[in-house]
Amino acid sequence: MNGLPMPMLRRRRAERGFSMAEMAIGVAIFSLVMLAVMALQSLSARTIKDLYGPTRSRSARMAALNEIRYRLCDGQIGSCVFSDPVEVGGSAYYRLRFRNPSLPAMSEFYFNKDERSLYYDGDVSDPDAGAVVARGPVQISFTNGSPDVLGGEGTLVTLHVETSDELAYSKVDLRDGDTVVYMRNPAL
């Protein structure tokens, strides 16, 4: 046969490649391994979302509360002007204006519910002065006084901040936080 000895002929036939059965078994094993890897990745992504979702929500809530407390505590007693939601360009804005004696003009916080952003404007007379100071809350409201303190109107401002985050085991995790800010600069 072709002048080749018999052992050489057998060796060449064995070196040709995989048989169809070997290839099918290899593809099946590879598919099972890939399915296991994808399931593990999906499970770990859901676990991370469940673990860090409430943490991100709490972080956004505390960032908003801290920014408001930091700037509002320097406000002048009795200078707060609270407004109901104001519609501007199809977006609802919740506003709180106050006077900070160290700044030349009125300052304000406003919250854009559509953008989920809290803005601070140190000078309301300049329309381009506002800047985002916190992102993430779904609702921020400002109330004159405190329900726990009688006669605190004008001196105390109650802040209510709601945050939410989508979790794997439920649609939304809604959390809220309240704090009261004491305005420490006396009226002139």
pLDDT for 83-138, tens place per residue? 776 666 666 667 888 888 888 888 888 888 888 888 888 888 877 767 888 888 77
Would residue 166 count as lying in a domain? yes
163 forms beta bridges with 175
Would residue 147 count as lying in a domain? yes
- Residue 67 lies in domain: 47-182
Would residue 157 count as lying in a domain? yes
Amino acid type, 118: L
Closest CA to 186 of 85, 77, 100: 77
pTM for the predicted model, two decimal places? 0.66
The three-state secondary structure class of 106 is strand
Query: What local confidence, expressed as pLDDT, does residue 42 receive?
Result: 92
pLDDT for 13-28, tens place per residue? 556 788 899 999 999 9
Would residue 11 count as lying in a domain? no
Chain-centre distance for alpha carbon 92: 19
Going by pLDDT thresholds of 50, 70 and 90, the confidence category of residue 60 is confident
Would residue 31 count as lying in a domain? no
Yes or no: say if 172 and 62 are a contact pair by the CB < 8 Å rule: no
95 forms beta bridges with 83, 110
Would residue 5 count as lying in a domain? no
Beta-sheet strands, E only, within 100-186: 106-112, 117-121, 131-135, 139-144, 156-165, 173-182
Query: What local confidence, expressed as pLDDT, does residue 35 receive?
Result: 97
HSE, CB side, 13 Å, CA atoms: give it for residue 119.
Answer: 20
Would residue 23 count as lying in a domain? no
Q: Distance (Å, rounded) from C-alpha 159 to C-alpha 182? A: 11
DSSP for 9-60, written as a single string? HHHHHHTS---HHHHHHHHHHHHHHHHHHHHHHHHHHHHHHHHHHHHHHHHH
Count of the separate structural domains present in the chain: 1
Report the 10 Å Cβ neighbour count for 83: 13
The three-state secondary structure class of 151 is coil
Would residue 42 count as lying in a domain? no
